[in-house]
Structure 1
Amino acid sequence: MDGALLKLTILPFLTSRTFAGGPPSGPPFVAQFNPTELTDSYEVNFQNETKQGDSGEPAKQYYIKPRNFTFELMLDGSGVTSATGFPENLPSTPASVIGQIELFKLTTGYNGKIHRNPYLLLVWGPFFVTSVLESYSINYKIFNSIGLPVRAILSATFREHKDDVLGNLLDNRSSPDVAHAHLTGEGDTLPNVVNEVYRDPGRYIDVARANGLNTVRALETGSEIVMPPVRSA
């Protein structure tokens, strides 16, 4: 197998709904060397309901922030690497370092067609994430005799991005006060599905009306059922 296929690859897209079928909007960035570390940050935000005089507060979950992913990538201009894939001799030319930095900016940077940075697909083996660039920094390590960089570390942080429709399905939201979709399984019936979500099988009439259904028998496996939110009185 071509080793390039195993390298971390970043693909840009103009919209967040073209990840699956649309062509990339620009050149891909393929890491020269795979990162040795990946930081996956997950954070839950809690609603503060502390009143004056309280000694504590309940941990009431408010929302889950998008995950952040941080990579550190080595950029080397020597053309000479060790058996591990990393440079072992001092580099002699800055060409590949500067070129890789400019390619990274071209792939992830501001796009005038959409007046924002592009949506990005990060692919590395089983790692497959839709995201946007949040920040990056470059630590220049070694320079040649005229001050051009010949080795650098690119540290980039990406914020997970989920399209509204895709996000609801991936999150598998099941709260009865949030509209979401349910993918039916084998043997599912509308009353059973409705009871699982709302804890009230009597709501199946509302769900049937929202989906244009006229049956309460077994549903077609793999079909998508819209579960409308519960409206408070």
Structure 2
Amino acid sequence: MLSELLGGAPVRAALVIYDPPTGAGTSPGPERGRVKLQFNPERVRVGKQAVWDRSRAPSNGEAARAQFVGAQPRTMTLDVFLDASGPGPSVQDQVEKLLDCCAPTARSTASKPASAPWVRLAWGHARTTAFLALVTRVDAEYTRFGHDGTPLRAQCAVSLEEVGGTVPRQNPTSGGDGPVGTHLVVAGDSLAGLAWQAYGDPGRWREIARANDVDDPARVPVGTVLVLPVLEERVAGGAG
């Protein structure tokens, strides 16, 4: 059956919203809320762009050799459908929560530097779309209203941009600096399980523990954001 091929019952996606880090920190603050998607996105668009410089053109008319300048942050766009037919926050409250992600939090404004909340699309074991990001744009279109004018349904187009710094890698065993990504610990998680999901080897939980200064792998609090580091390639038949 199709449900078996797709892995059983669908996992509901949510846009998790965090306080921005204080000062020059690189990890998000505590979770400040989430927008639970009533319907999972039908499509999510992820993009990344490299910048190349060809200004040093040769005099013989040939095309200039490209010089790598840098990599732009990942971007992602997704549609969020909100409806007031079920229990939970109102459509207006959910839209306001998304719009608030485009402005600095009061705490960050007071402490400097000012920063908007950080967000992450949490959707089961998806990793390519699970990077920490800033909301750059929200377009909400209300499509249904109550008799008193209260919005009852909305379609929101949400644009995200990676917060920057070290970027996730596609191949977790390709070597080099930087994390594969991040993971928000939920009930039932284990470092061995995360190592299996990220690297295909549960025995590499020690590298995750080392990268996050975890002393007791059996006592990682729910809500902790773990960095999943890039690992050096193991050489078959090598010493030690």
- Deviations 1:94-150, CA, capped at 9 Å, x for gaps: x72112112334566420211220222321122321111111111122233443322
8 Å Cα contact 2:15-2:119 kept in structure 1:
no
TM-score scaled by structure 2? Answer: 0.54
Q: Residue in 2 aligned with 1:200?
A: none
Q: Residue in 1 aligned with 2:54?
A: 48
Segments of 5+ residues of structure 1 without an aligned counterpart are 81-94, 172-180, 189-217, 222-233
Q: Secondary structure at the match of 2:132?
A: strand
Structure-1 separation of matches of 2:10 and 2:27: 24
Residue 116 of structure 1 aligns with an amino acid whose one-letter code is S
Residue 31 of structure 1 aligns with an amino acid whose one-letter code is L
Share of identical aligned residues, percent? 20
8 Å Cα contact 1:6-1:124 kept in structure 2:
yes
Q: Residue in 2 aligned with 1:68?
A: 75
Segments of 5+ residues of structure 2 without an aligned counterpart are 1-8, 109-113, 170-176, 181-228
Residue 69 of structure 2 aligns with an amino acid whose one-letter code is Y
Q: Residue in 2 aligned with 1:138?
A: 140
8 Å Cα contact 1:10-1:122 kept in structure 2:
yes
Moved >6 Å (runs of 4+): none
Structure-2 separation of matches of 1:129 and 1:48: 31
TM-fit CA distance, 1:169: 1.3
Compared CA separation, residues 12 and 185, structure 1 to 2 (3 A): same
The answer to whether the aligner puts 1:121 opposite 2:120 as a matched pair is: yes
Map 1:77-116 → 2, pairs under 5 A: 77-79=84-86, 96-106=90-100, 109-114=103-108, 115-116=114-115
Structure-2 separation of matches of 1:58 and 1:122: 38
Q: Secondary structure at the match of 1:140?
A: strand
The answer to whether the aligner puts 1:18 opposite 2:27 as a matched pair is: yes
Map 1:173-184 → 2, pairs under 5 A: none
TM-fit CA distance, 1:184: 5.1
The answer to whether the aligner puts 1:156 opposite 2:158 as a matched pair is: yes
8 Å Cα contact 1:27-1:107 kept in structure 2:
no
TM-fit CA distance, 1:162: 4.0
TM-fit CA distance, 1:187: 6.8
May I ask how many residue pairs the two structures share in their alignment? Answer: 163
Compared CA separation, residues 187 and 79, structure 1 to 2 (3 A): closer
- Deviations 1:155-205, CA, capped at 9 Å, x for gaps: 11111124459894138xxxxxxxxx98556579xxxxxxxxxxxxxxxxx
Structure-2 separation of matches of 1:72 and 1:97: 15
Residue 107 of structure 2 aligns with an amino acid whose one-letter code is K
Residue 82 of structure 2 aligns with an amino acid whose one-letter code is L
Compared CA separation, residues 150 and 6, structure 1 to 2 (3 A): closer
Compared CA separation, residues 126 and 166, structure 1 to 2 (3 A): closer
Structure-1 separation of matches of 2:91 and 2:157: 14
CA RMSD of aligned residues (A): 3.7
Q: Residue in 1 aligned with 2:38?
A: 32
8 Å Cα contact 1:123-1:129 kept in structure 2:
no
TM-score scaled by structure 1? Answer: 0.56
